[in-house]
Structure 1
């Protein structure tokens, strides 16, 4: 029997567990360890609340989690409740699937002023992450700026733009739903250092902006290359650019506007004790396709800046770390000494939810090959249970999670699938009763 620990219960973690099940069958015991009392990581705390179809993938993870040889170990923080060396002494292999939940900083003057919020914090706020439930973003202002040209930037702009009626069917948490409903924001700028052909926005998410009840997207066609150049793009990218071009002809008769500022690089944030404006430098593309400054700047008065410029994996003591890339040091998923990495913890913040599946399967095969000649047996979950009990750690199982999930469904407002608990003590309380 092989005993394997997976740290992180998001897509990368459960795809890895699924792969190990298929390789080993009944000859493996897998413990999926998460610092939260609730599973699914990115699915629960990162995917936009109005994208319930994407969240449906958790049903696949639930099937894995309910298997006899997989156990969810929630409310266990690696590095505090148990160390990496301790896990390696108990398990034949340990997989790091912690994702990349920390924001890359906006490293410009004024980037730390109140009113500058990273997307991990802002998304966590409207998704009910316990660490960000008390964030209180300044939504009483008229103008917000979103820095970034990926899908997270689109999510943030869309959530800021929607009416309360457009959140029907979503699981946006009550505090965000109420605060957004009373927001004063009327203009949202989306800043991108490069041009329309270089965006990292997918067609579905981009297309949604053209169908908002109270907000209209706006682009300047002078930012675009000749339309014939669109034929050089990959099909998905070409469709995204087509959406952008169509935005130019939409009527501007709605109370809110989402403005795409292409070739725009933030250079500093200004304000007296809080954000009051952002100074942006116009850019151009050099021969390598990189954005370079032109020296020409302009100001955007604003009271909120949300940075969507990337994420990083927080380091864990005892694991080699690549600070410049924001991920664990590894070679094709192998960290060394029985330790492996998958998903964003392995690659850095790139790819979609589905990208994690082949990642998990590849690492599972490497684990099987590495253990083929290893004799002797580790203690596995029995050893973990003894260690956690001795430290009075309140472990949450998947059955416990199902009680929490049922309680969230029971307290949902009309039209919503759930009302998430946003405090860990409330989650634990729902499990008990």
Structure 2
């Protein structure tokens, strides 16, 4: 039996779009609207993936047909909780799926964490990716030394971006203010430290290898920090990756031993088994240093890598970036599971008719494609719920009327394409794009395109009677 009805997905990142894809695949008669508070779709693909990872960003090509030919509507520049309430959306749509990610940083919980010059990865990565939320961050990077705390890919990304030369930056979509600030910072040393050892580090081998391919930086690894082999206690599912990582790190260690003392490149120090214990400084000068303790050399097990109680490392750094994980931020009208750092849910169900997927459901996990399973489950839950609905709700057509009545400027997918084209044109053939980092600038592009279209329509209409109506686009009929 064919399923009818309407679904609203809040969040246009990969999880939300995977869910939309699955709903349309299983139930082509169901209408799907994807709402985002930004005028731009794609979530962390645009605002989180490293600017020099253009191949990873190309996943958006998979999602474009959703909006151009598969009947899914993009409803951008709409803030749920401000422009429209979640309760209103639930009255308008038969089911709602939350795919809002995890935009908050986990805290270190050490003295000095709130000093000027300390940044969580959500803010710092958002800043160099040109996310409008962080356009005004202007982080302190006085140099010559920076500490990046974490043993995962995000920490590698931050360290690598800081180590890029101007030439390497020039072929990325790094936000221009960030590129200028990093190029102007006289960095000589970047310390990449984490409380666990090389066996437990969560780097992917591809990202780790990239650190040795930078023209202006060289990784520094001490051979004594590396085990001779992969212990049998390692989970077999991880053993191959761990072995590849050890091989890469051994190569870095060999190069460290052979490096010339006057090598002018930025040194990226891998400090394994270092647990941060205090960030030093004051509110006037900001960060001046970092204290860390050594942790055991053995596998840490379920209890974690416990500090030895002895401070063994003091780093004179002017900036600290923490990359120790993300957590969901409060969503208007819904409880937060503080312990897990997610929107409170039971197996993806928040309430009947309201579902959650991706990082907002289970916390940060894996690469982009790793959230496909969670998105598929949310789609199936929403469709199962739709089968119980007796009287379908009005869906997107009523949302459109409501937003127009309130005077909000909605950006549809055609509007995003205009922003996209303007950014690419500004890249001038060298950079993939020159990102707009302010929402007002994005909206100006859309409005200018609309004005040109309106002028052409009026000119082509007899006696100048042509009119223009803002619209989200046609409501898909399936």
TM-score > 0.5, shorter chain as reference: yes
Q: Secondary structure at the match of 2:116?
A: coil
Question: Which string of whole-angstrom CA distances, capped at 9 and with x for unpartnered residues, describes residues 119-148 of structure 1?
Answer: 111111111111212212222311000010
1:231 Cα deviation after fit? 9.6
**Per-residue deviation at 1:216?**
0.8
Partner of 1:86: 88
Moved more, 287-296 or 95-104: 287-296
Answer whether contact 1:174 1:419 (CA < 8 A) is retained: yes
Q: 8 Å contact 1:163–1:213 — kept in the other structure?
A: yes
Q: Is the 8 A contact 2:142 2:319 kept in 1?
A: no
Write the distance in 2 (CA, Å) between the matches of 1:348 and 1:186. Answer: 35
**TM-score normalised by L of structure 1:** 0.96
Q: 2 CA distance for matches of 1:119 and 1:398? A: 29
TM-superposed CA distance for 1:198, in Å, is 0.3
Distance 1:310 1:83 in 2: 29
Q: 1:105 maps to what in 2?
A: 107
Report 1:28-427 matches (<5 A).
28-227=30-229, 229=231, 232=234, 233-250=238-255, 251-252=258-259, 253-273=263-283, 274-284=286-296, 285=298, 286=300, 288=302, 290-297=304-311, 298-427=313-442
8 Å Cα contact 1:231-1:238 kept in structure 2 = no
Count of aligned pairs between the two proteins? 432
CA–CA distance in structure 2, aligned partners of residues 142 and 293 of structure 1: 28
C-alpha separation in 1, matches of 2:399 and 2:240: 49
Q: Report the TM-score, using the length of structure 2 for normalisation.
A: 0.87
1:430 corresponds to which residue? 445
Q: Once the 2 structures are TM-superposed, how far is the Cα of residue 301 of structure 1 from its aligned partner?
A: 0.6
Larger radius of gyration: 2
- 8 A contact 2:355–2:381 mirrored in 1: no
Equivalent-residue separation in structure 1 for 2:433 and 2:228 (angstroms): 47
Distance in 2 (alpha carbons) for counterparts of 1:287 and 1:18:
39
Unpaired runs of 5+ in structure 1? Answer: none
For residues 90 and 414 of structure 1, the distance between their equivalents in structure 2, rounded to whole angstroms, comes to 44
| Post-superposition offset of 1:235 | 1.3
Residue 20 of structure 1 pairs with residue 23 of structure 2? yes
> Contact 1:28–1:69 (CA<8 Å) still a contact in 2?
no
- Secondary structure of the 2:376 match is helix
Q: Deviations over 1:288-340 (max 9, x none)?
A: 46211111112111000001011111111222320122111112211122100
Give the aligned CA root-mean-square deviation in angstroms.
1.6
Mapped contact 1:230–1:238 kept (Cα < 8 A): no
Indicate how the Cα distance of structure 1 residues 221 and 33 shifts in structure 2: closer, same or farther if over 3 A, else same: same
In structure 2, do the counterparts of structure 1 residues 201 and 228 end up closer, same or farther at CA, with 3 Å as the change threshold? closer
Q: Aligned partners of 1:220 and 1:97: how far apart in 2? A: 42
Residues 394 and 107 of structure 1: is their aligned pair in 2 closer, same or farther, counting only changes over 3 Å?
same
Whole-angstrom distance in 2 between the partners of 1:384 and 1:240: 50
The CA deviation string for residues 374-430 of structure 1, in whole angstroms up to 9 with x for no partner, is: 211101011211221222211110000101111111111441111010110000001
Determine if contact 2:94/2:389 at 8 Å carries over to the other structure: no
Q: 5+ unaligned residues in a row in structure 2: which ranges?
A: 449-478
Deviation at 1:185, TM superposition (A): 1.0
